[in-house]
Structure 1
Amino acid sequence: MELDIKQIMERLPHRYPMLLVDRVLEMVPGKHIVAIKNVTLNEPFFTGHFPHHPVMPGVLIIEALAQASALFSFEGDSGVNPANPKMAYYLVGVDQARFRRPVVPGDQLRLESTAEKISRSICKYATRATVDGQLVAEAKIMCAIRILED
């Protein structure tokens, strides 16, 4: 299954400048995903990180991996939809994070996530990000699903 930006926006609540997934290349609901983030000099964070040597912040690479993870975790009949305004999908844990090389303007970040556990309240993933086949970051991440009160 592939998704374009319109389909991604139907499934995630994030919008510019925080939507960090541009396309889904491969997705098996509840199992794994391969998605893309095109990194351009127009990203707002490059203004201050760093003006003379632009580098994508590692925390935003992790956020992109969490967003990609949300996309494949609740596809189908799970009843959970991160875009539902009465539901929140929070990044609550990051373990074993390693950053191997900088991500710079012009890079295409390939986001890969595999489910380790998915339930109606907690999800755990093994994630990795690559550029041109080279590992740039990897982490184990955990997300929590909460129903928001009015």
Structure 2
Amino acid sequence: MNEILEVLPYRPPFLLVDQICEYQSGYWVKGYKNLSWSEWFFDQKSEKPAMPFMLVVESIAQLSVCLDDPQNGLGFLASFKGVRFENHAYPGDRLDLFFEIIKKKRTFMIGYGEARVEGKSIVQVEEMSIYLSANAG
């Protein structure tokens, strides 16, 4: 968790990645988010609350930024296309996250992202663009 906090500017409750599991620097990264009933985005009144799909996409985007050197500045989700919403993630699930760089050009990193629960695809993003801002410090 400490390595994530060093790279990402987010803090709970907006931090949507719990752990980085594996990575190959400059190529791909795997991580996860454990979902609990106490998450701010779950509708407590719903019979079967699900994580909003756009927050799943944001989880993948946050994970992608972990591939870049934190000295380079911050990363922001710039655009995405080819998104498929396939299943839902619920409290008690472990959301397994994956991001792979397709290409990196100047201040943009473009890649493929996916979120799964127990091997079932939840969200797939064919092309996700991450803007890497210059470090202002």
TM-score, normalised by the number of residues in structure 1: 0.83
Percent identity of equivalent pairs: 28
Q: Which residue of 1 aligns with 2:84?
A: 98
Query: Would you say 1:58 and 2:45 are equivalent positions?
Result: no
Q: Which residue of 1 aligns with 2:115?
A: 129
Aligned-pair distance for 1:119?
Answer: 3.3
Q: Which residue of 2 aligns with 1:40?
A: 36
Q: Which runs of 5+ in 2 are unaligned?
A: none
What are the within-5 Å matches in structure 2 for residues 10-89 of structure 1? 10-47=6-43, 51-74=46-69, 79-82=71-74, 89=75
- How many residue pairs get matched? 136
Q: Which residue of 2 aligns with 1:108?
A: 94
Query: Would you say 1:144 and 2:136 are equivalent positions?
Result: no
Q: CA RMSD in A?
A: 1.9
- Write the distance in 2 (CA, Å) between the matches of 1:132 and 1:113: 17
Q: Which residue of 2 aligns with 1:86?
A: none
The amino acid across from 2:98 in the alignment is E
The answer on whether the counterparts of 2:72 and 2:133 sit within 8 Å (CA) in structure 1 is no
Return structure 1 stretches of 4+ with deviation > 6 angstroms: none
- Write the distance in 2 (CA, Å) between the matches of 1:73 and 1:116: 14
- Write the distance in 1 (CA, Å) between the matches of 2:105 and 2:73: 13
Q: Which residue of 2 aligns with 1:85?
A: none
